[in-house]
Structure 1
Amino acid sequence: MPKKTKAIKITDIKSEKPWLKKAKASVYEIETREVKKTILIICEGQTEKLYFESFPVLTLTVEAIDLKGESKLKLIESTIEIVKNSIKIYDEVWCVFDMDFKRGEKEFADFDNAITKGKNCGYKIAYSNDAFELWFYLHYQYNDNKNHRSFYYSFLSKEWNINYEKDGKKYNFCKSVYDKLNNDDKASQEKAIERAETIYQAQVDKKYHEQNPITLVSELVKFLNQNKRK
């Protein structure tokens, strides 16, 4: 007489255990998952590099390079070489530089040609005139007068209780600027963006070197903000 066998419940079969089945990705997960982008920011100084690296971005990888004061056109040419020789594919390339009146007419041509060439390469150009520090200044006040960078250095020295020209360019201080502005009740990044845009719109039809004061750093800041941790 054949041996009796115990009936096996379907739910007892290991592969059929509901909690052992591989869960499928939900529609919600698929729709909300973002692809992490990589952007390249080419700067002409440590101040800019460390400031942009301080943004707490989540859906973005920021690679910032300090080219240490190259001429504007040379900075664009170096950017072309960096992009061409990199194994990475950058979703966006930003070039950040400012004017320098020390060289007069030669500097004007270098500034204008660099912006034009950079745009023709498809790069985003966050230029300032006269200085990058105008962007910091606009966190506190609106000003549409032409000022030499010494004006902004003097203002920041008083506001931050530091000799900005001497100590404001040092590594540790540069790393602290983003948080310093973010935690200062008197400073407002939102207002700085509004002020920068107002100044730009009043001069958009002028030649690049004639736009003064001007800063398009606000455009890069807005982009980084879109990718910040909430």
Structure 2
Amino acid sequence: MPKKTRAIKVTDQDKAWNRKSSPTAYRVEEIPINKTILIVCEGQTEELYFKSFQVLGVRVDAVNLGGQSKLKLVETTEMIQSDEARDEVWCVFDMDVRRGEAEFSDFDNAIERANSLGYRVAYSNDAFELWFYLHFEYTDAENHRTFYYQELGKRLDLNYEKDGKRFDFCKKVYGILKSHEQSSQEKAIERARILFEERSDLPYHQQNPVTKVFGLVEELNRNLRR
């Protein structure tokens, strides 16, 4: 049987609840892309962290190249940039002091090579996690990455060495740091700048602790969606 319909009084036809809505034309504002940034990382943590910045008017291409030497990462960055030139290029890697002199020379040479190509380098010594730690506290001690893993684990209530590298955590760590009541990105930038200014005259591999990540964060912050 056909579905019964309710009769509508003539006097009700013009009431708001009884009118059929007509399509509304919304003006979609297109934000032009004013700048392109290529961020080449050596790990998932860095890649997903930088992808979490909600920028506007800027295209950010964050690439994770995985485990390879620092110099090889810079060379691969050259290839990526030659395929499609971006306005600004950043290389993001750290130095594991436990690997010894071979790591020292690779680290220094990679930074020099990147600088010669006009790339910017957000390097960290000893670990990228120094940047996360500085959200909570200042340190100028020559800590190894295990220290940062332990301290971040206490503050974030997890086994950082085991779970801090997982995809789901890496994808939300930016938001975690932003919302944590004891965390401050603004203070992290200040602390990181102090560390760098105090050690900038030293060879790169001797700049421990240092993280230049603050420079890249400041660049992304300039283009955040407000």
TM range (shorter): 0.7 to 0.9
Question: What SS does the aligned partner of 2:172 have?
Answer: helix
Distance in 2 of aligned mates of 1:107 and 1:89: 29
Query: What displacement does 1:38 show?
Result: 1.1
Corresponding residue for residue 7 of structure 2: none
Matched, 1:140 2:136: yes
- Computing the radius of gyration from Cα coordinates, the structure with the larger value is 1
Provide TM-score, normalisation by structure 1.
0.83
2:65 matched to which residue of 1? 67
Superposition pairs of residues 1-230 of structure 1, within 5 angstroms: 35-84=33-82, 86=83, 88-230=84-226
> Residue 75 of structure 1: CA displacement?
0.5
CA distance in 2, matches of 1:146, 1:197: 16
Deviation at 1:34, TM superposition (A): 6.1
Q: Write the distance in 2 (CA, Å) between the matches of 1:37 and 1:63.
A: 11
Secondary structure of the equivalent of 1:109? helix
- Which residue number corresponds to residue 28 of structure 1? none
Q: Per-residue CA shift, 1:30-55, capped at 9, x if unaligned?
A: xxx86521111000000000000000
Runs of 4+ in 1 over 3 A off after TM superposition: none
Deviations 1:121-147 (A, max 9, x none): 010000000000000000000000000
Instruction: Please report how far the alpha carbon of residue 97 of structure 1 lies from its aligned counterpart in structure 2 after TM superposition.
Output: 0.2
What one-letter code is carried by the residue in structure 1 that aligns with 2:60?
Answer: V
**CA RMSD of superposed structures (Å):** 1.0
Distance 2:33 2:144 in 1: 42
Q: State whether residues 42 and 68 of structure 2, in contact with CA within 8 Å, keep that contact through their aligned partners in structure 1.
A: yes
* Cα distance in 1, alignment partners of residues 50 and 212 from structure 2: 14
User: Residue by residue, what CA displacement relative to the aligned partner does 1:165-191 show, whole Å, maximum 9, x if unpaired?
Assistant: 111101110011000011111000000
Structure 1 stretches of 5 or more lacking a match? 1-32
AA aligned to 1:43 is C
How many residues are treated as equivalent by the alignment? 196
CA contact (8 A) 2:33 2:59 kept: no
- Residue 111 of structure 2 aligns to which amino acid in structure 1? I
Of all paired residues, the percent bearing the same amino acid is 58
Paired with 1:56 and 1:178, the residues of 2 have a C-alpha distance of 11
TM-score normalised by L of structure 2: 0.85
CA distance in 1, matches of 2:218, 2:198: 20
Q: Name the SS for the 1:94 alignment partner.
A: strand
